[in-house]
Amino acid sequence: MRLIVAQDYNAMSRRAAQMVAKLVRAKPEAAIMVPTGDTPRGFYAELAAIHRRDEFDVSRLRVFQLDEYLGVGARDPNSFQTWITRAFLDPLGIAASRLVRLPGDADDAAAACRAYDERMRSAGGCDIAVLGLGWNGHLGFNEPPADPASPTRVVALSAETVASNGRYWGAGARVPNQALTCGMANILAARHKLVLVSGERKREILRRVVTGPVSPETPATYLKASDQVTVLADAAAWPWPVPEQDKVAADRV
Ligand code: F6R
């Protein structure tokens, strides 16, 4: 695992966008897994800015949705698909057909999850999984305790995750307590994993991931046993010196 600490949120976002733009330029047909949430907003904005300045081909990208609420349809303004379309697909001009959805409104969600894993298999796996770090170390919606071999599936969300997501839904809204998530197996199998971590509120969980033992209780710690992982944090999330074993050449991805 390589830890890169950027001086602030904007620098972290810029760096992440440069890494992904570089990868897509080198492999325009790349399969990329993308998160929602607060942390990646700046990354998507920077990626769109790079694309506006110096266009790169996104017509062949394959975009895999990382997770979705169960029972929430694509047109729902609170769906992750709506979020990804607004933050990523539309600003870069990526056709909706390039998105491999996790359909929250599928009649048979378990079958939809199996179909998603099949699409991942036929894409030859994922070139880069861009990830946020959950308050409890979750990746996607793989809540603790997590099985590193878990497939894409329907999961129950912890009460704390539901409460934390409530900020997006507005007062009085019923936040779904189940979701579809790309499983740990496909996340860990991605050829690059780029984890974005920002802010003081992530400090303790990031410290646990970087310095603690690999444990199902902190799903992100499985990244330590996996190849090609870059944790890109801002100084608010990692105010300490970078541990010697995690120091990296900055431009590896
Ligand atoms: C979102 C997702 C979650 C978030 C994580 C951090 O698609 O899969 O794992 O990445 O909860 O969320 P933020 O960035 O809002 O702190």
Please report the atom of ligand 1 found closest to the CA of residue 140. Answer: 8
* 42 pocket-lining for ligand 1 (C-beta < 6 Å): no
- pLDDT of 252 strictly over 50: no
Q: What is the model's pLDDT at position 137? A: 98
> Which residue, judged by its Cα, is nearest atom 3 of ligand 1?
140
* Nearby residues of 209 by Cβ (< 8 Å), 6 or more positions away: 133, 137, 218, 220, 221, 223, 224, 231
* Nearby residues of 98 by Cβ (< 8 Å), 6 or more positions away: 58, 59, 61, 62, 63, 89
Q: What is the model's pLDDT at position 184? A: 98
For residues 103 and 140, the answer to whether their CB atoms sit within 8 Å is no
* 67 pocket-lining for ligand 1 (C-beta < 6 Å): yes
What percentage of the chain carries pLDDT values higher than 90? Answer: 88
* 219 pocket-lining for ligand 1 (C-beta < 6 Å): no
CATH code of the domain in which 36 resides: 3.40.50.1360
What percentage of the chain carries pLDDT values higher than 70? Answer: 96
Categorize the per-residue pLDDT at 243 as very low, low, confident or very high, splitting at 50, 70 and 90: confident
Q: What is the pLDDT of residues 119-170, one digit of tens each?
A: 999 999 999 999 999 999 999 999 999 999 999 999 999 999 998 888 888 8
- pLDDT of 115 strictly over 70: yes
For residues 187 and 140, the answer to whether their CB atoms sit within 8 Å is yes
* 160 pocket-lining for ligand 1 (C-beta < 6 Å): no
* Nearby residues of 183 by Cβ (< 8 Å), 6 or more positions away: 117, 142, 149, 150, 151, 152, 153
Categorize the per-residue pLDDT at 253 as very low, low, confident or very high, splitting at 50, 70 and 90: very low
Please report the atom of ligand 1 found closest to the CA of residue 36. Answer: 7
| Domain range for 57 | 2-252
For the annotated catalytic residues, the residue numbers are 67, 136, 138, 143
> Which residue, judged by its Cα, is nearest atom 5 of ligand 1?
134
Q: pTM of whole model > 0.85?
A: yes
Q: HSE-up of 160 (CA within 13 Å, CB side)?
A: 7
Q: What is the pLDDT of residues 155-209, one digit of tens each?
A: 999 999 998 888 888 877 888 999 999 999 999 999 999 999 999 999 999 999 9
Domain count, the chain: 1
Concatenate the DSSP letters of all residues of 41-104 into one string: HHHHHHHHHHHHHS----TT-EEEE-EEETT--TTSTTSHHHHHIIIIIHHHT--GGGEE---T
